[in-house]
Chains A and B, each alone.
Chain A
Amino acid sequence: MEWEVVIGLEIHAQLATTSKIFSGAAIRYGAAPNTQACAIDLGYPGTLPVLNEAAVRMAVKFGLAVDAQIAPRSVFARKNYFYPDLPKGYQISQFELPVVSGGHLDIDLEDGGHKRVGITRAHLEEDAGKSLHEDFHGLTGIDLNRAGTPLLEIVSEPDMRSAKEAVAYMKKLHALVRYLEICDGNMQEGSFRCDANVSVRPRGATRLGTRCEIKNLNSFRFVERAINFEVERQIDVLESGGQIVQETRLYDSVKDETRTMRSKEEANDYRYFPDPDLLPLMIEPAFISTVRATLPELPDARRARFVSQYGLPDYDAAVLTTTRELADYYEQLVTQAPADAKLAANWVMGELAARLNEENLDITESRVSTAQLAGMLVRISDQTISGKLAKQVFEVLWTEGGEADAIIDRLGLRQITDTGAIEAMIDQILADNPAQLAQYRSGKDKLFGFFVGQAMKLTAGKANPAQLNELLRRKLDAE
């Protein structure tokens, strides 16, 4: 039987506020345990939560960016469950009336097409603390620094049909929240994490199959691998006559498998109810307007502009706008070396990206500044150096720093563009290789490359290739 895969994602984006969602405690990552947990975060009696305005602002900003409705009135609810890293015995979240609903995000497919993924809702909630299970002689250590950290939970429609599509959606969302500056997107620190709802059904069926939820996937690679594993598992179960049990599963990246975490049969019934400690959140049109005014140019718009303004192919524009920082780097570079925008794109996507990748660096940590790279691009454009020799200049810029002009002089990489000098050299080469010359002239065209090679050898690659080709052709075909 042919199976169709159905995937929906729930993504938790930690909002980039300086204090918690309901208290004035700090949320700096990596602080000593429990030094950022105040009486409100600890659930002490007599405390009351007060909502952080920046968190609301960020949720609205997200809603506007995905073309969603911003609820004029939304309500906080208590999600009740017992776990030691949840000191109040409930998580403050939103249930029936979330702040954002009904948006969408367009993703690129591998075949070059596009797909619109629905965003069901996005709601504000607080994070729980952390449990540490090691090293405490049979006890569990609890760190409540993270308790009360603001999260935006972004829930998609079950619109994705493969692990690749799910990853494309997640990457697009990741880029978006960083463009919006509402989330730092640091997946290792858990600032952006994903739960995947996965089911399969016979192709053509309209009813959804029973789904499993895979929890806490904190890298794009794990999302893809976990979904692929889970799809295989479900198909195996169904094809051997079994039934899928609705349950929560954990992905084990070491064994590359998912396994049961808890089954929904005795699942948590969270007994949601409106939190009496919090009044309804009312969002006025004026508030939405002020947030709208802070929206930056969004990735899709920037990509389209890169095509129209710089004449880049859509592929290049898509790659260069993957992150706001990369797009900023590119635009700064083009401002400094405006002669050839495509050349700049090639270097950023080629040599620079390769070096960053090799050393596992972010574009903001690039060892070559836009000014340094621009200095070199200008010398390629004005033919001082060839693109091939520029790689040597780039290497020095990367490893030692400095300025392109000084490096070109020091390494003697200036292109030979003096027609007289090139001609004299060609005459010499033809005189030194009479046998090859005779063969060429008797029709062995392939030997053209031999003469080019000789010239490049004599000039250590510095002869201007276009000039050399032209002059050489003229001399060889002279008789």
Chain B
Amino acid sequence: MSFTIETVRGIAHLARLAVDEPELEAYTQVLSRSLDLLAQINAADTTGITEMAHPLDVAQRLRPDAVTEPDVREACLAQAPAADAGLFLVPKVIE
């Protein structure tokens, strides 16, 4: 199994990574080798084995529904590149 350069270009776009043409070539090869490894793992017979969402064999702990976090707005806004009227400001985004 192997990646095409187009697939890698697509993944780079989804991840918003700027990858130039020579790098695309390199990634295509490296990622294809990773897929080969996964194919090998996939070939193992796992009939009757529950898939594992997490390497730890424990269940999610639950938290009581209570407000425990104070207002930290000023501290957080102070770290933002731009803020106004209690809001974080970012370059305009409209779909």
Which of A52-60, A110-118, A354-362 lies on the face that meets chain B? A52-60
Q: CB of A133 within 8 A of chain B?
A: yes
B68 near A24: Cβ-Cβ < 8 Å: yes
Q: CB of A278 within 8 A of chain B?
A: yes
Q: Find chain A residues with CB under 8 A from B63 CB.
A: 24, 50-53
Task: Please name the residue on chain B nearest to A248 by beta carbon.
Answer: B95
A140 near B90: Cβ-Cβ < 8 Å: yes
B71 near A36: Cβ-Cβ < 8 Å: yes
Dominant secondary structure of chain A at its interface with chain B: loop
Interface residues of A in 105-149 (CB under 8 A from B): 131-133, 136, 138-144
Q: CB of B64 within 8 A of chain A?
A: yes
CB distance from B45 to the nearest CB of A (A): 21
Q: CB of A239 within 8 A of chain B?
A: no
Size band of the interface chain A makes with B: 35 or more
Cα distance A271–B7 in the bound complex, in angstroms: 13
B60 near A133: Cβ-Cβ < 8 Å: no
Interface residues of B in 71-91 (CB under 8 A from A): 71-73, 76-77, 82, 84-91
Q: Find chain B residues with CB under 8 A from A274 CB.
A: 53-54
Q: CB of B1 within 8 A of chain A?
A: no
Q: CB of A19 within 8 A of chain B?
A: yes
Q: CB of B69 within 8 A of chain A?
A: yes
Which of A27-35, A290-298, A313-321, A388-396 lies on the face that meets chain B? A27-35
Q: Find chain A residues with CB under 8 A from B93 CB.
A: 83-84, 131, 133, 140
A34 near B56: Cβ-Cβ < 8 Å: no
Mark B25-62 against chain A: 1 for CB-CB distance below 8 A, else 0. Answer: 00000000000000000000000000001101011111
Residue from B10, B65, B71 having most chain A Cβ neighbours under 10 A? B65
CB distance from B92 to the nearest CB of A (A): 5
Count contacts on B: residues with CB < 8 A to the other chain: 37
Cα distance A131–B88 in the bound complex, in angstroms: 10
Which of A230-238, A279-287, A377-385, A427-435 lies on the face that meets chain B? A279-287
A35 near B90: Cβ-Cβ < 8 Å: no
Task: Please name the residue on chain A nearest to B54 by beta carbon.
Answer: A279
Pick from B14, B60, B67: contact of A271, CB below 8 A: B14
Which of A37-45, A335-343, A459-467 lies on the face that meets chain B? A37-45
Q: Find chain B residues with CB under 8 A from A33 CB.
A: 73, 85-87
Q: A37-B73, A133-B92, A280-B60 are in contact. Are A19 and B67 (CB under 8 A)?
A: yes
Cα distance A351–B76 in the bound complex, in angstroms: 54
Q: Find chain A residues with CB under 8 A from B77 CB.
A: 34
Q: A39-B72, A139-B82 are in contact. Are A144 and B88 (CB under 8 A)?
A: yes
A32 near B86: Cβ-Cβ < 8 Å: yes
B84 near A141: Cβ-Cβ < 8 Å: yes
B84 near A136: Cβ-Cβ < 8 Å: yes
B95 near A133: Cβ-Cβ < 8 Å: no
Pick from B66, B72, B91: contact of A38, CB below 8 A: B72
Q: A33-B85, A38-B69, A53-B63 are in contact. Are A269 and B54 (CB under 8 A)?
A: no
Q: Find chain A residues with CB under 8 A from B90 CB.
A: 84, 139-140, 142
Pick from B54, B62, B73: contact of A53, CB below 8 A: B62
Interface residues of chain A, those whose CB is within 8 Å of chain B, are 17-19, 23-26, 32-40, 42, 50-56, 75, 80, 82-84, 97, 131-133, 136, 138-144, 261-262, 268-269, 271, 274, 276, 278-282
**What are the 7 tightest A-B residue pairs by CB atom distance, in nearest-first order?**
A24-B68, A141-B87, A54-B65, A38-B69, A282-B59, A53-B62, A279-B60
